[in-house]
Amino acid sequence: MAGGSILGNRVLRKEDPKFLTVGGEYVDDMDEPMLAGAAHVVYVRSTVAHGVINSIDTSDAVSMPGVLGVYTAASLGLEPVPAAFNPMVARTLLASDKVRYVGEPIAAIVAETREQATDAAETVFADIDPLDALIDLEQAMASSTLIYEGAGSNVVFDTTALGMPENTGDAFFADCEVVTKGRFLNQRVAPCPLEVRGAAAAWDGDGRLNQWLSTQHAQGAVEPLAKANGVEPSMVRVRTPDVGGGFGAKIGTYAEELLLGVLAKKHGRPMKWRETRSESMVALGHGRAQLQYVTIGGKKDGTVTHYQLHAIQDCGGFADMGTILAPFMTRPMSSGVYAIPNIECRTTSVVTNTTPTTAYRGAGRPEATAAVERAMDLFALEIGMDPADVRRKNLIPKFLEPHTTAIGQTYDVGDYETALDKTLKAADYSALRAEQKKRRASGDVKQIGIGVSVYVEITGGVGNGESAKVEVLDDGRAVVYTGTSPHGQGHDTAWSMLVQEQTGIPMDRIELVWGDTDLVPIGTGTMGSRSLQQGGNAVFQVAGTLAEKAKSVAARLLEASEADVVLDKERGVFHVAGTPSVTKSWADLAQAEKASGGLSHHDVINVSGATFPFGAHVSVVEVDTETGQARLIRQVACDDAGKVLNPMLLDGQIHGGIAQGVAQALFEEVIYDADGNPTTSNLADYGFPSAAELPSVEVVHMETPTPINAIGAKGIGESGTIGSTPAVQSAVVDAVSHLGVKHIEMPCTAQRVWAAIQAAK
């Protein structure tokens, strides 16, 4: 290990043996004594995108075998719940006055088995008068048909309401030598976690709600559950077992989860619910869904001086988290890595008759990067300059002190040119261009395209700190309590490494506890790539404080001055300086402190702000010009996440992020027909890549530590997604640009590529 420290080394994941052998324990596996005799809940969902509910006939369902109860908003007495981001947008947890998207829950069936509840759900008939289904964003903005009449418009949020100016239009570019425009759709995608949503609820003898959730933020679920069930937050306990993927969509709480406690109390028995994959595709929050109008201007020598973005965000059928992604994530990052002196960015959020949108891996930052990177490509094409050279010319120079962009966002540290140059060198960019020139000259059917992207993103922007507790048991083992929540990231390994570094207690003697609000009442969860830089930072500092605190106990046991006590981390023991043979172990200290409450330390550690990881990606695709089929053949990625804790975990996050980013560029898209019916409601119709569609990723390492936290780390969970998508899209366009193609919308399917080639002819 480097310098005797475990940090910075490739350490195998502690979690893997369980997941690779007996498997994890997910919500649907729960065998808790409190859940014995649980009934099952299935929700009846709207098959109409937009309409007025005249009546809901449940008479046949009530008499079905095994059915214990059938409930609507009326029978449960549900009141409208206003949206957090626009209180004039309100709905009941089960649709009552109207339905607003296909998949919206309108009734709940309680039965002895899931199969019986499913059969009964099929007999419920909702009499609905259809209204115009508003699927297109701009149509929804202009329509007199309102999805929420109380809001007075289908535009439910606009940055002008925050006092931010409108874009000034073409006059903004009056002094530019070159101006080019684009209209881009950052398409709607489904999160598709391998584990769909599930929940279970039971009331204990003290009148306390116990709820199990597949969630990214157990503590954040307490208050909504308490409100939905009419109890104080202290009367709710949330527990999170293993979570099979979240990607942002499992941050908040959904109607199906909030109603379980209500139904459990009504029947006096526990309740379980699990959605099907088809339900997940239409009811779990979607991602992206942003229409972008971009104009970029500057000089013929490649200098960009002006950039204008109007981002129109699709909220879907409710003003949920998706409403604020554009104004609070896309807008601040609109400058990207570029020193553009003049920027205008307006965002508009619009409700439509589609599944509500929510956070999705990167949450607003991928959209900002995609817009400015496509703009850079169009600008380079307009002036006939290599896109990598245009980028380099406009990059913000290296800075190790905070830098504020023209849009007003302050970055911590950055070295964008080095990241770009390292990536171009690793890809052998000049050789790739030479190969491309050769193929074009020969008229080869299969052409290659090279896409370049340089990005910066914001991580750890959610919450300004995290809770951590480290407790040493009588046998010398340590238990770590964290307010973050793992769902594939490797927290057990990472947090154990941090505690071992500070205490010398071996990783295999460290246990991680998360996602239980009785054991960890304070926590901000896992989202926005915040875990290591906030949760890990808290664990690291709390473990360090505990180690210092332990010296006073060791001094008493060793009958020495505390200043003379040394912690030998190699052996995990304390001794007096110069007398290494007489020691006290962590077990000795814990036993000595047992009578006075044990040996532990707990704190909430704050950080001074967000961090800004950055990097550069080069994608190489091969396009069959006769069929339009695009195949990714190389992906070279430099993702600088500051100080690296464990290169194996880093690479895993980069690989996963890139897979998701490539998937958006080439495969994934949620599609609705004109009536608002989803045509991609299962994995047979929704493009979803396997390992066979992806090349091995060539990772280029680079570390620029941040001063924002004690371990110098930035987030890495979303970076690969942010850098890869625009690089792959750019590569596809580049492969056929010599044929006159300037832009192809994502996903760059064979049909779209072929159509673009034909149109250019």
Tens of pLDDT, residue by residue over 222-251, are 999 999 999 999 999 999 999 999 999 999
Q: Cα(159)–Cα(151) distance, rounded to whole angstroms?
A: 16
Alpha helix (H) residue ranges in 559-704: 586-592, 647-666
Structure-token pair, residue 570: 């190699």
Q: Cα(721)–Cα(725) distance, rounded to whole angstroms?
A: 6
> Pick from 512, 317, 338: which is nearest to 420 by CA?
338
Counting every residue written for the chain, the total comes to 761
Task: Check pLDDT > 90 for residue 561.
Answer: yes
CA atoms within 13 A on the CB side of 96: 16
The class level of CATH for 287-459+610-760 reads alpha beta
Task: Check pLDDT > 90 for residue 464.
Answer: no
The DSSP result for 673-738, as a single string, is -TTS-BS--STTTS----GGGSPPEEEE------SSSTT-B---TTHHHHHHHHHHHHHHHHHTGG
Structure-token pair, residue 527: 């989202």
Task: Grade residue 4 by pLDDT with cuts at 50, 70 and 90.
Answer: confident
Q: Summarize pLDDT for 306-338 with one digit per residue, the tens.
A: 999 999 999 999 999 999 999 999 999 999 999
> Pick from 757, 742, 710: which is nearest to 447 by CA?
757
Q: Cα(753)–Cα(759) distance, rounded to whole angstroms?
A: 10
> Pick from 736, 744, 181, 732: which is nearest to 451 by CA?
732
Task: Answer for the pair 501, 4: CB distance below 8 angstroms, yes or no.
Answer: no
* SS percent in the chain: helix, strand, coil, step 5: 35, 25, 40
User: Residue 30, SS3?
Assistant: coil
Structure-token pair, residue 106: 């309108």
Task: Grade residue 1 by pLDDT with cuts at 50, 70 and 90.
Answer: very low
Written as one letter, the residue type at 460 is: G
Q: Where in the chain is the domain with CATH 3.30.365.10?
A: 287-459+610-760, 461-606
Structure-token pair, residue 110: 């309680």
Mean pLDDT for the chain overall: 97
396-405 long-range CB contacts below 8 Å, 24 or more apart?
396/337, 396/338, 396/339, 397/339, 405/335, 405/340, 405/343
Q: Please, what's the largest Cα pairwise distance for the chain?
A: 89
Structure-token pair, residue 198: 């599930």
Written as one letter, the residue type at 457 is: E
Q: Cα(43)–Cα(38) distance, rounded to whole angstroms?
A: 16
Written as one letter, the residue type at 625 is: T
Task: Grade residue 2 by pLDDT with cuts at 50, 70 and 90.
Answer: very low
Structure-token pair, residue 155: 């535009």
Number of Cβ atoms within 10 Å of the Cβ of 317: 29
Task: Answer for the pair 484, 622: CB distance below 8 angstroms, yes or no.
Answer: no
Nearest-5° Cα angle at 751, 745 to 756: 55
Q: Where in the chain is the domain with CATH 3.90.1170.50?
A: 36-131
For the chain, helix (H) and strand (E) counts, in that order, are 20, 30
Per CATH, which fold does 36-131 belong to?
Aldehyde Oxidoreductase; domain 3 (3.90.1170)
DSSP label of 291:
E
Instruction: State residue 688's pLDDT score.
Output: 87
The class level of CATH for 461-606 reads alpha beta
Nearest-5° Cα angle at 503, 501 to 509: 90
Mean pLDDT of all residues in 696-701: 96
| C-alpha pair distances (Å), 206 with each of 203, 215, 224 | 8, 25, 20
User: Residue 439, SS3?
Assistant: helix
3-state secondary structure 82-97: EECCEEEEEECCCCCC
